[in-house]
Amino acid sequence: MINFPGKQQYNGEDLYRIVKILRGEGGCPWDREQTHASIRRNLLEEADELCEAIDRADPAMMREELGDVWLQVVFHAVMAEEEGSFTLDEVADAECRKLIGRHAHVFGSATAATGAEALQVWDEQKRLEKQQRTPGEAMDAVCRTLPALWRAEKVQKKSGETMPDPETIAAQVRLTADRLADALVSDGDVNAALGEALFAAVCAARLSGTDPEEALHARCESFIRGVLAAEDQNR
Distances (CA, A) of 156 to 139, 140, 206: 8, 11, 9
Pairwise CA distance, residues 58 & 61, whole Å: 5
Q: So what's the pLDDT on residue 235? A: 82
pTM of the model: 0.78
Describe the chain by its helix, strand, coil percentages, rounded to 5.
Answer: 75, 0, 25
- Going from the first residue of the chain to its last (235 residues), give the mean pLDDT of each consecutive group of 10, the final group possibly shorter: 89 96 94 97 96 96 97 98 97 96 95 94 91 91 94 93 93 97 95 97 95 94 96 88
- What is the set of domains in the chain, with CATH numbers? 12-90 (1.10.287.1080), 138-233 (1.10.287.1080)
Query: Are 16 and 74 spatial neighbours (Cβ–Cβ below 8 Å)?
Result: yes
Long-range contacts of 199-203 (CB under 8 A, 24+ apart): 199/152, 199/156, 200/169, 200/172, 200/173, 200/175, 200/176, 201/173, 202/149, 202/152, 202/153, 202/156, 203/156, 203/164, 203/169, 203/172
